[in-house]
């Protein structure tokens, strides 16, 4: 009988040892993605850095694993920064993103010695300069530019429309100029370069190339208008992965290689010098390495639908409800059986939209079967909630037949641990 193993361990053994629902990462796949990115994102013309966008999934263990592969990190909050600090990663390789960073977060990052702030807007720039100068800190900054490229992806994860909440629109030269002038006068904050990110789960290479060419054109403008040359440029992340059969993403390694040759070509054509090119993949680093293991409970027929209910749901994977995201799944203990029945996989959260897969053909399932939903490693656990007071799942990393518990399952007591006594 053919069964699904992850990192050399069968799913049943993982479920028996750690319980379900369970987030399982194939550690080797994560390392392979990191290696492919680092190897292919290299140039003879400029320095390069791959910074993992930790919002896709973060844990102290993953920070350490990727730091050992030479990666830097994108963090967007004090909470993500805290994890990176706890893991002891090199703070010089940390890029602190986020719109509306609080003063406390800015101070925390300055004190931690982060390498870069990615400035979102004019007001943030003013606050950062004041806080850095007051503390006598020196830090580099990238200014986030919205290049106005629309890529094909879900509207909620599209970040580069002209009215987007992120960055300063490329044609708003007044605000861009204000940031440049303010940083020119600051002793503490140095404008090292610019940043752009056009959205997430984008599979067409041409959108990324268009964004990169636009940003290098922008660097040429900055050279001509402002005398700025030899700047750093971050191209963000957003590389799509395979969720279902119909998805045909370009591999992360190939995408990185393509971005490098595109940047080299555009920089030569436009006569600009790039000091360093940075990319920030999140999803592509961990998405396909992650599996969500559920146990199938009750089943029922409702109208035309055959529901199978799993022991988690939208509280551990909000993506189908939020974005209409599609997933596929397998019965890990019955891999050689042919699909026979169409099912709707729903969770146990109290909401009609709590559907993980609207329609999937599987061998006829029985209560107690395991179900493995594929490609759940990005934005699954990291967007999990306690809706209906369901505890968040445990997370294990598996490699060469060894499973490591990285995050414990959340207990009822954990969930109520922040509450005060509540006597009436």
Considering only residues 26, 27, 49, 74, which one is a binding residue for ligand LLP as defined by CB under 6 A? 74
Cβ proximity to ligand LLP, 83 vs 236, nearer residue: 236
Q: How far apart are CA 290 and CA 151, in angstroms?
A: 25
Partners of residue 389 on adjacent β-strands? none
Q: Which of 23, 125, 256, 350 is catalytic?
A: 350
Alpha-carbon Rg for the chain, nearest whole angstrom, is 23
Decide: is 238 part of the binding site for ligand LLP (CB under 6 A): yes
Residue 348 engages ligand LLP in binding (rule: CB under 6 A) = no
Query: Does position 377 bind ligand LLP by CB under 6 A?
Result: no
CB of 398 to ligand LLP, least distance (A): 22
* DSSP 8-state secondary structure symbol assigned to residue 338: P
Q: How far is the CB of 199 from ligand LLP (least distance, A)?
A: 8
Does position 121 interact with ligand LLP (CB under 6 A)? The reply is: no
Q: How many residues make up the chain in this entry?
A: 424
Member of 236, 249, 347, 377 binding ligand LLP (CB under 6 A): 236
Of the candidates 100, 114, 9, the one whose C-alpha atom is nearest the C-alpha of residue 332 is: 9
The helix (run of H) or strand (run of E) holding residue 213 is: helix 205-226
Least distance (Å) between residue 317 CB and ligand LLP: 9
Nearest-approach distance from CB 379 to ligand LLP, in angstroms: 3
Q: Please give the Cα distance from 379 to 5 (Å, whole number).
A: 23
Given the complex with ligand LLP, which of 84 and 403 has the nearer CB atom? Answer: 84
For residue 415, the tally of other CB atoms under 10 A from its CB is: 14
Cα 318 from Cα 351, distance rounded (Å): 12
User: Taking CB under 6 A as the rule, does residue 200 contact ligand LLP?
Assistant: yes
Kindly state whether residue 33 participates in binding ligand LLP, applying the rule CB under 6 A.
no
| Chosen residue from 29, 319, 348, 399 binding ligand LLP by CB under 6 A | 319
With vertex at residue 250, the alpha carbon angle to CA 9 and CA 335, rounded to the nearest 5 degrees, is 30
Among 61, 63, 96, 239, binds ligand LLP (CB under 6 A): 239
Does residue 101 belong to the site contacting ligand LLP (CB under 6 A)? no
Q: Residue 281 CB, nearest distance to ligand LLP (Å)?
A: 4
7 binds ligand LLP, rule: CB under 6 A = no
Query: How far is the C-alpha of 104 from the C-alpha of 90, rounded, in Å?
Result: 21
**Part in contact with ligand LLP (CB under 6 A); list of ranges 3-11, 80-88, 168-176, 282-290:** 282-290
Residue 357: in which H helix or E strand, if any?
A: strand 355-362
**53 part of the interface to ligand LLP, by CB under 6 A:** yes
Query: Which is nearer to ligand LLP, 197 or 348 (by Cβ)?
Result: 197
Give me the helices (H) in 27-185, please.
Answer: 27-40, 60-68, 78-87, 103-112, 122-135, 173-184
Cα 347 to Cα 367: distance, rounded to the nearest angstrom: 14
DSSP per residue, 397-410? EEETTEEEEEEPPP
Residue 136, helix vs strand vs coil:
coil
Size of the site for ligand LLP (CB under 6 A): 22
Among 87, 158, 284, 356, binds ligand LLP (CB under 6 A): 284
- Regarding 147 and contact with ligand LLP (CB under 6 A), the answer is no
Q: Which of 131, 87, 124, 134 is nearest to 109 (CA)?
A: 131
Q: Looking at beta carbons only, is 188 or 281 nearer to ligand LLP?
A: 281
Instruction: Find all residues with CB under 8 Å of 312, minimum gap 6, and list them.
Output: 20, 21, 292, 294, 347, 348, 390, 393
125 catalytic residue (yes or no): no
Whichever of 294 and 379 has its CB closer to ligand LLP, that residue is 379
Q: Is 289 in the site for ligand LLP (CB under 6 A)?
A: no
Residues near ligand LLP, by CB under 6 A: 53, 56, 74, 97, 157, 197, 200-201, 236-239, 280-284, 319, 323, 378-379, 383
Active-site residues, by number, are 350
């Amino acid at each position: 009988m053919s069964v699904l193993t992850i990192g050399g361990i069968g799913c049943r053994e993982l479920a028996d040892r750690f319980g379900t629902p369970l987030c399982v990462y194939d550690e080797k796949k994560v390392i392979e993605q990191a290696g492919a990115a680092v190897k292919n994102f290299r140039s003879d013309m400029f320095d390069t850095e791959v910074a993992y966008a930790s919002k896709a999934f973060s844990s102290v263990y993953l920070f350490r694993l990727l730091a050992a592969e030479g990666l830097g990190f994108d963090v967007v909050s004090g909470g993500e920064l805290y994890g990176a600090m706890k893991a002891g990663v090199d703070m010089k390789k940390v890029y602190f993103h986020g719109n509306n960073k609080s003063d406390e977060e800015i101070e925390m990052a300055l004190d931690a010695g982060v390498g870069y702030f990615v400035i979102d807007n004019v007001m943030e720039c003013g606050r950062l300069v004041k806080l850095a100068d007051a503390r006598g800190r020196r830090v580099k900054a990238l200014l986030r530019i919205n290049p106005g490229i629309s890529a094909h992806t879900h509207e909620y994860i599209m970040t580069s429309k002209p009215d987007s909440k992120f960055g300063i629109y490329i044609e708003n030269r007044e605000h861009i100029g204000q940031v440049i002038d303010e940083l020119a006068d600051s002793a503490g904050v140095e404008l090292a370069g610019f940043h752009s990110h056009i959205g997430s789960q984008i599979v067409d290479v041409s959108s990324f190339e268009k964004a990169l060419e636009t940003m290098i054109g922008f660097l040429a403008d900055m050279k001509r208008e402002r005398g700025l040359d030899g700047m750093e440029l971050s191209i963000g992340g957003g590389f799509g992965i395979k969720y279902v059969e119909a998805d045909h993403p370009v591999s992360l390694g190939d995408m990185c290689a393509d971005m490098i040759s595109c940047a080299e070509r555009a920089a030569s054509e436009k006569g600009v010098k790039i000091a360093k090119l940075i990319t920030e993949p999140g999803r592509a680093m961990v998405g396909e390495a992650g599996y969500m293991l559920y146990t199938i409970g009750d089943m029922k027929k409702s109208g035309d639908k055959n529901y199978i209910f799993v022991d988690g749901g939208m509280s551990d994977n909000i993506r189908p409800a939020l974005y209409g995201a599609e997933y596929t799944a397998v019965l890990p203990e019955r891999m050689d059986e042919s699909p026979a029945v169409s099912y709707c996989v729903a969770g146990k959260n109290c909401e009609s939209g709590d559907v993980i897969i609207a329609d999937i053909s599987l061998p006829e399932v029985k209560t107690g079967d395991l179900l493995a939903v594929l490609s759940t490693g990005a934005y699954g656990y990291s967007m999990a909630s306690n809706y209906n007071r369901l505890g968040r799942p445990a997370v294990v990393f598996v490699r060469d037949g060894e499973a490591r518990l990285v995050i414990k399952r959340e207990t009822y007591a954990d969930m109520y641990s922040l509450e005060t006594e509540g006597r009436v």
